[in-house]
Structure 1
Amino acid sequence: MFRFANPEYLYLLFLLPVLIAGFIFLNIQKRKAVQKLGNLQLVKRLMPELSLKRSYLKFWLVFSIFVLGIVVLARPQFGTKVEKVERKGIELVIAIDVSNSMLARDINPDRLSKAKQILTRIIDERKNDKVAIVVFAGEAYVQLPMTTDIQSAKIFLDNINPSLVPVQGTVIGSAINIAMNSFTSEKEVDKSIILITDGEGHEDNAVQMAEQAGSVGIQVNVVGIGSAQGAPVPVSSTSNEMKKDNEGNVVVSKLNEEMCKQIAQAGKGMYVRADNSNNALKSLQAELDKLQKKNVDGVTYSEYDEKFQFFAWCMLILLIIEVCIFDKKNKIFRGIRLFK
């Protein structure tokens, strides 16, 4: 595989036509200046040591050096091969609630941001696991299929926001069902679901789906996020205006902790409430560490090798040649007629 590490420098190639146009313009001006002295052929005879072809050659050498310099700045790289690697880990599906109530700020900075912080830390510490991401509110769908690409998982997680699922609600049962179908058919690898939600507005068969997952060996761990006292729900993540119901009352969202505990118990997992400390993260990591790790196949690309050195050497050689070529014929090599 081939790539440029700094492809933004390739935009400098757009300057090449400007260089050529400038060279042509200067030559035209130079020719006009010579013609003022007299007939062009006569002037050439009066300056026998002047070689126009040398000036043309020097320009194209400088032009080539400029092109090679741009390539060096862009840092061409080659990857040698794709390798199949084996890791000892588990399969993990993250199901995250993105309903509007997750914008409530009873957890700093808000429930959704705190959930993303916790999940990012989990992904960082579980580099050998396969990960998938499911988002849900009034609907649920797969945001990222099962992968060993941890960096991609973090990018997808960072971009999660309530606008991904415009239909409001909390279909936890549907999210668990989709999460179950996101695992591979590998039977030797332990599987776990991390469900992170405030449990509010629960409207489907979440407990039954958790029982079904537990019965086939898929552990359902639930992270409840929010507080029992609740907090107003902002209109958006950056707004200080709060949502109001049809009667003009401010909407207050509260953590449905009892429902979260029932789901975790049915799914043979653990329930933990997230707060402004790291206790939830530590407890969840400890629970996941109890799962039996098996070989998890993954595909990775080998490291890219820097190849700019070749172009740099070519640039240096051309630069030396350009310096050694004079506009006038060299007295030492006057007998050698490479240029007429």
Structure 2
Amino acid sequence: MFDWSVLLQFHFLRPYWLFLVVPFAILSVLQWRRSDLGRQWEPVIAAHLLPSMIVPGSQRRLFSPLWVSIILGPLLAIAVAGPSWERGDSPFAQDSATLIIAIDLSASMNESDLQPSRLQRARDKILKLAEARGDAYTALVAYSGTAHTVLPLSNDSNMLLHYLDALSVGMLPRRGKAPESVLPIADTLLAARGNGGSLLIVSDGASDQSAAVFADWAKQNDTQLLVWGMGKTQEQLDQDTARGLNARAQPLQEAQLRNISKAANGHYERVSVDDDDLRNLLRRINRHYRLSEDSARPWLDGGIYLLPLIMLFFLLWFRTGWVLRW
């Protein structure tokens, strides 16, 4: 279905080049007058004899240099003027699309419903995400009862790999599960870059008090919140038990994670066996960046789409006798 919003965005990047139509129009009118045999012979042949001396329709054929120039002139003017209706990617997209990853190191992340553990699955997923983002700036924060910066914003994915490998459950000084403790650190890290970004919470649960804190936080900034649920729900664990699998684990607190996501107008994504969850999050990260940096993105020059047609018309000037008739 056609997107009518394109018409609202249509404009010319170099509108002054549309004045090229004027000399083309003058040239076409002059050629038209020259091809009028009646006008050419009026000074020589008597007016009552002139109509009988001229064979009509022999000069102004549709397939002629005159008619082709009438079509080619406006096409050239429009192409050079730079018609545009959509924006391209910013040349600084990879340098500016910042992401803060906050990973939960509370005791429940050692559960083995996701093999070999929730924490290890989270590591693997985060590394795939970092690889897909290339050299975009990424920071790593670890939290349980308190939050601590592990890796400041860096565009070196190898550094992220080393720091992720060093993380383990129980290494932080205070036990608990307080994702809201990440928010001040995320604000500080993003402020250092001077632009908006995304905060990704990687966890298997949250407290009932977390949603209110995230709601207040969302009112004060435009950072996008993404929540990545690691673990299986109670329904999934029951299904594993019915199949005879060892499914004794604390279930994923999906309701609490959805609550903090909803409170901050964010997006919740549950971990998947394939990479669908990864692709969904990556798409939202990129979309949020494009929306927040829309004014910095250049308009695409649509004149290039007219070039093949213009080149085909120019080929006619290589026809035998074409230039002589012009």
TM-score by length of 2: 0.53
Identity %: 25
Aligned pairs (5 A) from 1:126-141: 126-141=133-148
Bigger relative contact order (CA 8 A; separation at least 6)? 1
* Partner of residue 195, structure 1: 201
Counterpart residue identity of residue 196, structure 1:
V
SS at match of 2:140: strand
Gaps of 5+ in 1: 1-84, 232-249, 296-340
CA distance in 2, matches of 1:210, 1:136: 19
1:204 to partner: Cα distance: 4.5
Higher helix content, 1 or 2: 2
**Structure with the bigger percentage of strand:** 1
User: How far did 1:88 drift?
Assistant: 4.2
Residues 136 and 151 of structure 1: CA distance in aligned 2, closer, same or farther (over 3 Å): same
How far did 1:148 drift? 2.1
What is the CA–CA distance in structure 1 between the aligned matches of 2:169 and 2:224, rounded to whole Å? 26
Q: How far 1:264 sits from its partner (Å)?
A: 1.3
Change (3 A) 1:282 1:145: same
1:182 aligns to what SS in structure 2?
A: helix
Ranges in structure 2 where 5+ consecutive residues have no aligned partner: 1-90, 238-246, 295-326
Residue 132 of structure 1: how far off its partner (Å): 0.9
Partner of 2:152: 145
1:173/1:204 contact within 8 Å kept: no
**RMSD, aligned α-carbons:** 2.8
Whether contact under 8 Å (1:180, 1:213) holds in the other structure is: no
Is residue 103 from structure 1 mapped to residue 140 from structure 2 by the alignment? no
- Evaluate the alpha carbon distance shift between residue 207 and residue 119 of structure 1 in structure 2; reply closer, same or farther with a 3 A threshold: farther
1:209 is aligned to 214
Q: Partners in 2 of 1:207 and 1:177 — Cα distance?
A: 15
Q: How many residues align?
A: 192
Q: TM-score, normalization: structure 1?
A: 0.51
| 1:217-246 C-alpha deviation (Å, 9 max, x unpaired) | 101100111112287xxxxxxxxxxxxxxx
Separation in 1 of the partners of 2:175 and 2:208?
Answer: 11
Partner SS state of residue 191, structure 2: coil
Q: Distance in 2 between matches of 1:207 and 1:127?
A: 34
* Structure 1 segment 51-130 matched on structure 2, within 5 A: 87-130=94-137
Query: 2:199 is matched by which residue type in structure 1?
Result: I
When residues 280 and 92 of structure 1 are mapped into structure 2, their CA distance, relative to the original with a 3 A threshold, is: same
How does 1:15-54 map onto structure 2 within 5 Å? none
Q: Find the counterpart in structure 2 of residue 259 from structure 1.
A: 256
Match status 1:218 vs 2:223:
yes
1:158-206 C-alpha deviation (Å, 9 max, x unpaired): 221113214221011112332222213444x331000011115x26434
Superposed, which structure 2 residues align to 1:232-251 within 5 Å? Answer: none
Measure, in 2, the Cα distance between the counterparts of 1:281 and 1:186.
Answer: 25
